[in-house]
Structure 1
Amino acid sequence: MAQDRVEAVERALTVLEVFDSPRDAFALAELAEATGFYKSTLLRLLGSLARFDYVQRGEDGRWRLGGSPVRLARRHAPSRHLAARVQPWLDRLAAETGETAALLASHAGEAECRLTALPEASLRHDLRPGSRWPVKRDDDPRPLLPGGSMTCVALPTGPGEPPLWLSLSGPAGRLSTDNARRALEAARAALDEAPETEEP
Protein backbone atom coordinates (compact mmCIF):
# COMPACT_ATOMS: atom_id res chain seq x y z
CA MET A 1 0.00 0.00 0.00
CA ALA A 2 1.09 3.60 -0.59
CA GLN A 3 1.51 4.37 3.13
CA ASP A 4 3.97 1.47 3.43
CA ARG A 5 6.34 2.97 0.86
CA VAL A 6 9.42 5.03 1.70
CA GLU A 7 10.51 6.70 -1.51
CA ALA A 8 14.14 7.27 -0.48
CA VAL A 9 14.53 3.61 0.49
CA GLU A 10 13.01 2.46 -2.78
CA ARG A 11 15.35 4.71 -4.71
CA ALA A 12 18.36 3.30 -2.87
CA LEU A 13 17.19 -0.23 -3.57
CA THR A 14 16.72 0.68 -7.23
CA VAL A 15 20.38 1.70 -7.33
CA LEU A 16 21.47 -1.58 -5.71
CA GLU A 17 19.45 -3.57 -8.24
CA VAL A 18 21.65 -2.19 -11.03
CA PHE A 19 24.58 -4.13 -9.56
CA ASP A 20 22.75 -7.42 -10.18
CA SER A 21 24.75 -7.61 -13.40
CA PRO A 22 27.74 -9.44 -14.87
CA ARG A 23 29.53 -6.09 -14.75
CA ASP A 24 31.61 -5.31 -11.67
CA ALA A 25 31.56 -1.50 -11.75
CA PHE A 26 29.56 1.43 -13.09
CA ALA A 27 30.34 5.06 -13.80
CA LEU A 28 27.93 7.63 -12.36
CA ALA A 29 26.57 8.35 -15.84
CA GLU A 30 25.87 4.64 -16.37
CA LEU A 31 23.99 4.44 -13.07
CA ALA A 32 22.00 7.52 -14.03
CA GLU A 33 21.05 5.93 -17.33
CA ALA A 34 20.09 2.63 -15.68
CA THR A 35 17.98 4.18 -12.91
CA GLY A 36 16.64 7.32 -14.57
CA PHE A 37 17.79 9.39 -11.57
CA TYR A 38 19.57 12.72 -11.79
CA LYS A 39 23.29 12.54 -10.99
CA SER A 40 22.82 14.83 -7.98
CA THR A 41 20.18 12.46 -6.58
CA LEU A 42 22.39 9.47 -7.27
CA LEU A 43 25.34 11.01 -5.45
CA ARG A 44 23.23 11.48 -2.31
CA LEU A 45 21.92 7.91 -2.50
CA LEU A 46 25.37 6.48 -3.19
CA GLY A 47 26.81 8.48 -0.30
CA SER A 48 24.33 6.91 2.13
CA LEU A 49 24.86 3.43 0.69
CA ALA A 50 28.64 3.89 0.90
CA ARG A 51 28.46 4.87 4.58
CA PHE A 52 26.95 1.45 5.32
CA ASP A 53 29.37 -0.27 2.88
CA TYR A 54 26.68 -1.35 0.42
CA VAL A 55 28.68 0.32 -2.36
CA GLN A 56 32.25 1.52 -2.71
CA ARG A 57 33.81 4.08 -5.02
CA GLY A 58 37.07 2.96 -6.58
CA GLU A 59 40.09 5.08 -7.40
CA ASP A 60 38.87 5.10 -10.99
CA GLY A 61 35.69 6.86 -9.86
CA ARG A 62 33.51 3.86 -10.69
CA TRP A 63 31.05 2.37 -8.20
CA ARG A 64 31.13 -1.24 -7.03
CA LEU A 65 29.26 -3.33 -4.49
CA GLY A 66 30.68 -3.04 -0.99
CA GLY A 67 31.09 -5.68 1.68
CA SER A 68 27.66 -5.48 3.32
CA PRO A 69 25.68 -7.42 0.67
CA VAL A 70 28.14 -10.33 0.92
CA ARG A 71 28.12 -10.17 4.72
CA LEU A 72 24.32 -10.34 4.81
CA ALA A 73 24.21 -13.11 2.19
CA ARG A 74 26.33 -15.26 4.45
CA ARG A 75 23.62 -15.08 7.13
CA HIS A 76 21.24 -17.30 5.12
CA ALA A 77 21.41 -20.38 2.94
CA PRO A 78 23.72 -22.01 2.30
CA SER A 79 24.36 -22.58 5.96
CA ARG A 80 27.83 -22.01 7.32
CA HIS A 81 28.10 -25.75 7.77
CA LEU A 82 27.28 -26.49 4.14
CA ALA A 83 29.57 -23.73 2.92
CA ALA A 84 32.43 -25.06 5.04
CA ARG A 85 32.00 -28.52 3.49
CA VAL A 86 31.44 -27.48 -0.12
CA GLN A 87 33.73 -24.47 -0.63
CA PRO A 88 37.03 -26.42 -0.40
CA TRP A 89 35.79 -28.77 -3.12
CA LEU A 90 34.75 -25.87 -5.31
CA ASP A 91 38.23 -24.38 -4.88
CA ARG A 92 39.78 -27.72 -5.79
CA LEU A 93 37.54 -28.19 -8.84
CA ALA A 94 38.36 -24.71 -10.14
CA ALA A 95 42.11 -25.27 -9.63
CA GLU A 96 42.15 -28.73 -11.23
CA THR A 97 39.88 -28.03 -14.21
CA GLY A 98 40.59 -24.35 -14.86
CA GLU A 99 36.85 -23.68 -14.97
CA THR A 100 34.33 -21.93 -12.71
CA ALA A 101 32.98 -24.23 -9.98
CA ALA A 102 29.75 -23.38 -8.18
CA LEU A 103 27.03 -24.56 -5.84
CA LEU A 104 23.63 -23.86 -7.40
CA ALA A 105 20.07 -24.03 -6.08
CA SER A 106 16.72 -23.65 -7.81
CA HIS A 107 13.17 -22.91 -6.76
CA ALA A 108 10.00 -21.72 -8.46
CA GLY A 109 11.48 -21.25 -11.90
CA GLU A 110 14.65 -19.50 -10.80
CA ALA A 111 18.20 -20.73 -10.22
CA GLU A 112 20.72 -19.05 -7.93
CA CYS A 113 24.45 -19.32 -7.43
CA ARG A 114 25.08 -19.93 -3.73
CA LEU A 115 28.87 -20.45 -3.67
CA THR A 116 31.56 -20.19 -6.31
CA ALA A 117 35.27 -20.61 -7.01
CA LEU A 118 36.79 -18.84 -10.00
CA PRO A 119 39.80 -20.13 -11.95
CA GLU A 120 42.91 -18.10 -12.69
CA ALA A 121 42.07 -17.99 -16.41
CA SER A 122 41.14 -14.55 -17.73
CA LEU A 123 38.57 -16.11 -20.10
CA ARG A 124 36.07 -17.68 -17.73
CA HIS A 125 32.44 -17.78 -16.67
CA ASP A 126 32.40 -14.90 -14.16
CA LEU A 127 29.70 -16.36 -11.90
CA ARG A 128 29.19 -14.77 -8.48
CA PRO A 129 27.22 -15.77 -5.35
CA GLY A 130 23.76 -14.22 -5.49
CA SER A 131 23.56 -14.32 -9.30
CA ARG A 132 20.10 -15.47 -10.43
CA TRP A 133 18.54 -16.46 -13.72
CA PRO A 134 15.24 -17.96 -14.91
CA VAL A 135 15.02 -21.70 -15.64
CA LYS A 136 12.32 -23.70 -17.38
CA ARG A 137 12.65 -26.67 -15.01
CA ASP A 138 13.75 -26.85 -11.39
CA ASP A 139 15.69 -30.03 -12.23
CA ASP A 140 17.94 -28.19 -14.71
CA PRO A 141 19.60 -25.06 -13.25
CA ARG A 142 21.82 -24.30 -16.25
CA PRO A 143 21.60 -20.74 -17.63
CA LEU A 144 21.86 -19.80 -21.26
CA LEU A 145 25.59 -19.33 -21.91
CA PRO A 146 26.27 -18.12 -25.45
CA GLY A 147 29.70 -19.45 -26.33
CA GLY A 148 29.89 -21.35 -23.05
CA SER A 149 28.70 -24.52 -21.39
CA MET A 150 27.80 -25.75 -17.91
CA THR A 151 27.73 -29.28 -16.50
CA CYS A 152 25.88 -30.06 -13.25
CA VAL A 153 25.47 -32.98 -10.87
CA ALA A 154 22.75 -33.01 -8.20
CA LEU A 155 23.56 -33.19 -4.51
CA PRO A 156 21.37 -35.12 -2.06
CA THR A 157 18.99 -32.87 -0.13
CA GLY A 158 16.48 -33.41 2.63
CA PRO A 159 12.69 -33.09 2.49
CA GLY A 160 11.56 -29.53 1.81
CA GLU A 161 15.04 -28.36 0.85
CA PRO A 162 15.64 -26.76 -2.56
CA PRO A 163 17.51 -28.86 -5.12
CA LEU A 164 21.27 -28.29 -5.04
CA TRP A 165 23.93 -28.92 -7.68
CA LEU A 166 27.66 -28.78 -8.11
CA SER A 167 28.55 -27.22 -11.45
CA LEU A 168 31.48 -26.49 -13.73
CA SER A 169 31.16 -23.84 -16.42
CA GLY A 170 33.34 -22.02 -18.91
CA PRO A 171 33.99 -21.46 -22.62
CA ALA A 172 32.45 -24.12 -24.84
CA GLY A 173 34.86 -26.86 -25.87
CA ARG A 174 37.59 -26.11 -23.32
CA LEU A 175 36.42 -28.78 -20.87
CA SER A 176 34.50 -31.74 -22.24
CA THR A 177 31.16 -32.62 -20.68
CA ASP A 178 32.45 -36.12 -19.82
CA ASN A 179 35.53 -34.81 -18.03
CA ALA A 180 33.49 -32.18 -16.21
CA ARG A 181 30.97 -34.78 -15.08
CA ARG A 182 33.70 -37.11 -13.84
CA ALA A 183 35.29 -34.33 -11.80
CA LEU A 184 31.93 -33.29 -10.34
CA GLU A 185 30.90 -36.84 -9.49
CA ALA A 186 34.23 -37.42 -7.73
CA ALA A 187 33.65 -34.30 -5.64
CA ARG A 188 30.07 -35.36 -4.86
CA ALA A 189 31.26 -38.80 -3.76
CA ALA A 190 33.89 -37.25 -1.51
CA LEU A 191 31.28 -34.95 0.03
CA ASP A 192 28.96 -37.91 0.62
CA GLU A 193 31.75 -39.75 2.44
CA ALA A 194 32.85 -36.77 4.52
CA PRO A 195 31.73 -37.00 8.16
CA GLU A 196 28.88 -34.71 9.15
CA THR A 197 29.56 -32.20 11.95
CA GLU A 198 27.15 -30.07 13.91
CA GLU A 199 26.89 -26.46 12.85
CA PRO A 200 28.01 -24.09 15.62
Structure 2
Amino acid sequence: MPSDGGTDRKAEGVAAVDRAFAILNAFRATDVSLTLNEIAQRTGMYKSTILRLIASLANAHCIVRLDDGSYQLGSMLLHWGGIYQAALRLDDHVPPMLRRLVLETEEGASFFTREGNLRVCLFRVDSPRSVRDHIRTGDLLPLDRGAAGRVLQNFDRTLVSPDEFPSQPYVFTVGEREPDIAAIAAPVFGPQRSLRGALAISGPAARFSEDRLPIMRRALLKAASDLTRRLGGDSTIFERWERQAGE
Protein backbone atom coordinates (compact mmCIF):
# COMPACT_ATOMS: atom_id res chain seq x y z
CA MET A 1 0.00 0.00 0.00
CA PRO A 2 1.36 3.47 -0.82
CA SER A 3 2.79 5.40 2.11
CA ASP A 4 2.08 9.02 2.94
CA GLY A 5 4.42 11.44 4.63
CA GLY A 6 2.05 11.94 7.55
CA THR A 7 2.54 8.37 8.81
CA ASP A 8 6.35 8.57 8.82
CA ARG A 9 7.78 8.83 12.34
CA LYS A 10 11.06 10.34 11.17
CA ALA A 11 11.79 14.04 11.53
CA GLU A 12 10.02 15.89 8.74
CA GLY A 13 13.12 17.15 6.97
CA VAL A 14 14.93 13.80 7.02
CA ALA A 15 11.84 11.90 5.87
CA ALA A 16 11.30 14.31 2.99
CA VAL A 17 14.90 13.90 1.84
CA ASP A 18 14.60 10.12 2.08
CA ARG A 19 11.46 10.17 -0.07
CA ALA A 20 13.11 12.48 -2.62
CA PHE A 21 16.04 10.09 -2.90
CA ALA A 22 13.59 7.20 -3.31
CA ILE A 23 12.16 8.96 -6.37
CA LEU A 24 15.63 9.49 -7.88
CA ASN A 25 16.57 5.88 -7.13
CA ALA A 26 13.45 4.67 -8.93
CA PHE A 27 15.20 5.40 -12.23
CA ARG A 28 17.23 2.56 -13.70
CA ALA A 29 19.98 2.52 -16.32
CA THR A 30 17.59 1.23 -19.00
CA ASP A 31 14.88 3.87 -18.36
CA VAL A 32 14.49 6.70 -20.84
CA SER A 33 11.75 8.24 -18.69
CA LEU A 34 9.14 7.20 -16.11
CA THR A 35 5.48 8.03 -15.78
CA LEU A 36 3.93 9.09 -12.50
CA ASN A 37 2.29 5.67 -12.24
CA GLU A 38 5.65 3.92 -12.69
CA ILE A 39 7.31 6.08 -10.03
CA ALA A 40 4.44 5.36 -7.64
CA GLN A 41 4.73 1.61 -8.25
CA ARG A 42 8.50 1.60 -7.70
CA THR A 43 8.52 3.80 -4.61
CA GLY A 44 5.25 2.75 -2.97
CA MET A 45 4.34 6.39 -2.37
CA TYR A 46 1.11 8.24 -3.05
CA LYS A 47 1.03 10.21 -6.30
CA SER A 48 0.19 13.42 -4.43
CA THR A 49 3.34 12.99 -2.30
CA ILE A 50 5.43 12.27 -5.39
CA LEU A 51 4.16 15.37 -7.18
CA ARG A 52 5.05 17.61 -4.24
CA LEU A 53 8.56 16.19 -4.09
CA ILE A 54 9.02 16.32 -7.84
CA ALA A 55 8.24 20.04 -7.77
CA SER A 56 11.23 20.59 -5.47
CA LEU A 57 13.44 18.20 -7.48
CA ALA A 58 12.51 20.00 -10.69
CA ASN A 59 13.37 23.38 -9.15
CA ALA A 60 16.83 21.97 -8.36
CA HIS A 61 17.17 20.55 -11.93
CA CYS A 62 17.27 17.01 -10.56
CA ILE A 63 14.17 15.95 -12.50
CA VAL A 64 12.69 17.21 -15.77
CA ARG A 65 9.07 16.86 -16.87
CA LEU A 66 8.81 15.97 -20.57
CA ASP A 67 6.11 17.13 -22.96
CA ASP A 68 4.35 13.76 -22.80
CA GLY A 69 3.98 14.10 -19.02
CA SER A 70 6.69 11.57 -18.10
CA TYR A 71 9.78 12.40 -16.06
CA GLN A 72 13.52 12.21 -16.69
CA LEU A 73 16.55 12.70 -14.46
CA GLY A 74 17.86 16.26 -14.69
CA SER A 75 21.18 17.86 -15.55
CA MET A 76 22.12 18.58 -11.94
CA LEU A 77 22.87 14.87 -11.43
CA LEU A 78 25.38 14.99 -14.28
CA HIS A 79 26.93 18.08 -12.69
CA TRP A 80 27.26 16.31 -9.35
CA GLY A 81 28.68 13.24 -11.11
CA GLY A 82 31.39 15.39 -12.72
CA ILE A 83 32.33 16.84 -9.34
CA TYR A 84 32.42 13.36 -7.83
CA GLN A 85 34.63 11.99 -10.61
CA ALA A 86 37.02 14.95 -10.38
CA ALA A 87 37.42 14.41 -6.64
CA LEU A 88 37.61 10.61 -6.81
CA ARG A 89 40.96 9.15 -5.78
CA LEU A 90 41.80 5.46 -5.75
CA ASP A 91 43.97 6.10 -2.69
CA ASP A 92 40.85 6.87 -0.65
CA HIS A 93 39.00 3.67 -1.55
CA VAL A 94 41.31 0.82 -2.58
CA PRO A 95 43.62 0.42 0.48
CA PRO A 96 40.72 0.07 2.99
CA MET A 97 39.21 -2.62 0.75
CA LEU A 98 42.52 -4.48 0.59
CA ARG A 99 42.89 -4.34 4.37
CA ARG A 100 39.39 -5.78 4.71
CA LEU A 101 40.25 -8.64 2.37
CA VAL A 102 43.44 -9.45 4.28
CA LEU A 103 41.52 -9.43 7.56
CA GLU A 104 38.88 -11.79 6.15
CA THR A 105 41.18 -14.20 4.27
CA GLU A 106 44.64 -13.82 5.89
CA GLU A 107 46.12 -13.77 2.39
CA GLY A 108 47.81 -10.91 0.55
CA ALA A 109 45.56 -8.53 -1.39
CA SER A 110 46.53 -6.39 -4.39
CA PHE A 111 45.04 -3.98 -6.90
CA PHE A 112 46.42 -4.03 -10.44
CA THR A 113 45.95 -1.87 -13.52
CA ARG A 114 47.13 -2.42 -17.06
CA GLU A 115 50.23 -0.68 -18.37
CA GLY A 116 50.81 -1.65 -21.98
CA ASN A 117 51.60 -5.36 -22.14
CA LEU A 118 52.21 -5.52 -18.40
CA ARG A 119 50.24 -5.03 -15.21
CA VAL A 120 51.35 -2.79 -12.39
CA CYS A 121 50.58 -3.28 -8.72
CA LEU A 122 49.16 0.06 -7.58
CA PHE A 123 48.27 -1.01 -4.03
CA ARG A 124 49.29 -3.95 -1.88
CA VAL A 125 48.56 -5.18 1.65
CA ASP A 126 50.61 -8.19 2.75
CA SER A 127 49.35 -11.30 4.49
CA PRO A 128 50.09 -11.44 8.25
CA ARG A 129 51.46 -14.96 7.76
CA SER A 130 55.20 -15.56 7.52
CA VAL A 131 54.83 -17.76 4.41
CA ARG A 132 53.17 -15.59 1.78
CA ASP A 133 53.21 -14.28 -1.77
CA HIS A 134 55.74 -11.46 -2.10
CA ILE A 135 54.42 -8.58 -4.21
CA ARG A 136 55.32 -4.93 -3.75
CA THR A 137 53.59 -1.74 -4.79
CA GLY A 138 54.99 -0.70 -8.16
CA ASP A 139 55.90 -4.22 -9.29
CA LEU A 140 55.43 -4.83 -13.02
CA LEU A 141 54.16 -8.34 -13.76
CA PRO A 142 53.16 -10.24 -16.92
CA LEU A 143 49.71 -9.51 -18.27
CA ASP A 144 49.26 -13.01 -19.69
CA ARG A 145 50.07 -14.92 -16.50
CA GLY A 146 48.29 -14.84 -13.18
CA ALA A 147 44.66 -14.25 -12.21
CA ALA A 148 44.86 -10.44 -12.12
CA GLY A 149 46.48 -10.28 -15.54
CA ARG A 150 43.79 -12.47 -17.05
CA VAL A 151 41.09 -10.28 -15.50
CA LEU A 152 42.66 -7.19 -17.06
CA GLN A 153 42.62 -8.93 -20.44
CA ASN A 154 39.22 -10.61 -20.27
CA PHE A 155 37.05 -7.84 -18.75
CA ASP A 156 38.31 -4.77 -20.61
CA ARG A 157 35.56 -3.61 -22.96
CA THR A 158 38.15 -1.84 -25.12
CA LEU A 159 39.58 -5.27 -25.90
CA VAL A 160 36.62 -7.61 -25.51
CA SER A 161 32.91 -7.11 -26.14
CA PRO A 162 30.86 -7.33 -22.90
CA ASP A 163 28.94 -10.16 -24.56
CA GLU A 164 32.21 -12.11 -24.60
CA PHE A 165 33.07 -11.55 -20.94
CA PRO A 166 33.67 -14.81 -18.99
CA SER A 167 30.56 -16.36 -17.50
CA GLN A 168 31.95 -16.04 -13.97
CA PRO A 169 33.14 -12.74 -12.46
CA TYR A 170 36.53 -13.99 -11.31
CA VAL A 171 39.64 -15.84 -12.48
CA PHE A 172 41.46 -18.46 -10.40
CA THR A 173 44.97 -19.61 -11.29
CA VAL A 174 47.62 -21.84 -9.73
CA GLY A 175 51.32 -21.68 -10.58
CA GLU A 176 51.01 -19.39 -13.61
CA ARG A 177 53.26 -16.59 -12.39
CA GLU A 178 55.27 -18.49 -9.79
CA PRO A 179 55.26 -22.19 -8.88
CA ASP A 180 53.11 -23.04 -5.83
CA ILE A 181 51.43 -19.60 -5.81
CA ALA A 182 47.67 -19.34 -6.32
CA ALA A 183 45.56 -16.26 -6.92
CA ILE A 184 41.94 -15.33 -7.42
CA ALA A 185 41.03 -11.98 -8.98
CA ALA A 186 37.91 -10.04 -9.95
CA PRO A 187 37.31 -6.93 -12.08
CA VAL A 188 36.52 -3.51 -10.65
CA PHE A 189 34.43 -1.26 -12.89
CA GLY A 190 33.92 2.49 -13.11
CA PRO A 191 31.42 4.66 -14.98
CA GLN A 192 30.14 3.31 -18.31
CA ARG A 193 31.44 -0.09 -17.19
CA SER A 194 35.02 0.96 -17.81
CA LEU A 195 37.54 -1.41 -16.24
CA ARG A 196 39.34 0.40 -13.41
CA GLY A 197 41.51 -2.52 -12.35
CA ALA A 198 41.75 -6.04 -10.94
CA LEU A 199 41.33 -6.89 -7.27
CA ALA A 200 43.31 -9.99 -6.30
CA ILE A 201 44.00 -12.32 -3.38
CA SER A 202 47.19 -14.39 -3.62
CA GLY A 203 49.21 -16.79 -1.50
CA PRO A 204 50.62 -20.32 -1.28
CA ALA A 205 48.53 -22.71 -3.37
CA ALA A 206 48.19 -25.15 -0.49
CA ARG A 207 46.04 -22.62 1.38
CA PHE A 208 43.66 -22.21 -1.58
CA SER A 209 41.99 -25.52 -0.83
CA GLU A 210 38.52 -26.63 -1.93
CA ASP A 211 37.02 -25.71 1.43
CA ARG A 212 38.78 -22.32 1.65
CA LEU A 213 38.33 -21.18 -1.94
CA PRO A 214 34.55 -20.48 -1.69
CA ILE A 215 35.20 -18.25 1.35
CA MET A 216 37.88 -16.32 -0.53
CA ARG A 217 35.67 -16.03 -3.61
CA ARG A 218 32.75 -14.59 -1.64
CA ALA A 219 34.99 -12.09 0.15
CA LEU A 220 36.64 -11.06 -3.12
CA LEU A 221 33.39 -10.59 -5.06
CA LYS A 222 31.83 -8.61 -2.20
CA ALA A 223 34.90 -6.34 -2.14
CA ALA A 224 34.90 -5.95 -5.94
CA SER A 225 31.21 -5.07 -5.89
CA ASP A 226 31.65 -2.54 -3.07
CA LEU A 227 34.68 -0.96 -4.73
CA THR A 228 32.89 -0.78 -8.08
CA ARG A 229 30.03 1.08 -6.42
CA ARG A 230 32.43 3.47 -4.67
CA LEU A 231 34.17 4.24 -7.96
CA GLY A 232 30.93 5.14 -9.69
CA GLY A 233 30.43 1.84 -11.50
CA ASP A 234 27.41 -0.42 -11.82
CA SER A 235 27.75 -3.09 -9.13
CA THR A 236 24.58 -4.88 -10.26
CA ILE A 237 26.75 -6.76 -12.73
CA PHE A 238 28.00 -8.84 -9.78
CA GLU A 239 24.43 -9.45 -8.62
CA ARG A 240 23.48 -10.73 -12.07
CA TRP A 241 26.48 -13.05 -12.10
CA GLU A 242 25.49 -14.37 -8.67
CA ARG A 243 21.92 -15.04 -9.80
CA GLN A 244 23.13 -16.82 -12.94
CA ALA A 245 25.48 -18.97 -10.87
CA GLY A 246 22.58 -20.01 -8.65
CA GLU A 247 20.35 -21.09 -11.53
Counterparts of 1:6-21 in structure 2 under 5 Å?
Answer: none
Letter aligned with residue 117 of structure 1: V
How far off is 1:158 after superposition? 4.7
How many residue pairs align between the two structures?
Answer: 118
Residue of structure 2 equivalent to 1:154: 187
- CA-based RMSD of the aligned residues comes to 2.9
Task: Choose the corresponding residue for 1:182, options 211, 215, 218.
Answer: 218
Secondary structure of the residue aligned to 1:173 is: helix
Are residues 1:165 and 2:198 paired? yes
Q: Matched residues, percent identical?
A: 25
Which deviations, in whole Å up to 9, do the C-alpha atoms of 1:82-123 show, x marking residues without a partner? 121111010111122110001011233211111011121000
Which deviations, in whole Å up to 9, do the C-alpha atoms of 1:5-31 show, x marking residues without a partner? xxxxxxxxxxxxxxxxxxxxxxxxxxx
Q: 1:134 to 1:185 in 2, by over 3 A?
A: same
Q: 1:185 to 1:112 in 2, by over 3 A?
A: same
Secondary structure of the residue aligned to 1:151 is: strand
How far off is 1:177 after superposition? 3.5
Bigger CA drift: 129-138 or 153-162?
153-162
Structure 2: runs of 5 or more not aligned: 1-86, 145-149, 155-170, 233-247
Q: Indicate the structure (1 or 2) with the bigger Cα radius of gyration.
A: 2
Q: Which has the higher contact order (CA 8 A, sep 6+)?
A: 1
Are residues 1:145 and 2:178 paired? yes
Letter aligned with residue 182 of structure 2: S
Letter aligned with residue 123 of structure 1: V
Letter aligned with residue 205 of structure 2: A
Residue of structure 2 equivalent to 1:39: none
Q: 1:195 to 1:155 in 2, by over 3 A?
A: closer
Separation of aligned partners in 2, 1:132 and 1:160:
25
Contact 1:105 1:165 (C-alpha < 8 Å) held by counterparts: yes
TM-score by length of 2: 0.42
Residue of structure 1 equivalent to 2:107: 99
Separation of aligned partners in 2, 1:157 and 1:149:
27
How far off is 1:184 after superposition? 0.8
Which deviations, in whole Å up to 9, do the C-alpha atoms of 1:17-66 show, x marking residues without a partner? xxxxxxxxxxxxxxxxxxxxxxxxxxxxxxxxxxxxxxxxxxxxxxxxxx
Task: Choose the corresponding residue for 1:114, options 122, 126, 135.
Answer: 122
Q: 1:112 to 1:168 in 2, by over 3 A?
A: same
Separation of aligned partners in 2, 1:144 and 1:135:
10
Separation of aligned partners in 1, 2:181 and 2:207:
9
TM-score by length of 1: 0.51
Residue of structure 2 equivalent to 1:52: none
Q: 1:160 to 1:95 in 2, by over 3 A?
A: closer
Residue of structure 2 equivalent to 1:58: none
Secondary structure of the residue aligned to 1:154 is: strand
Structure 1: runs of 5 or more not aligned: 1-78
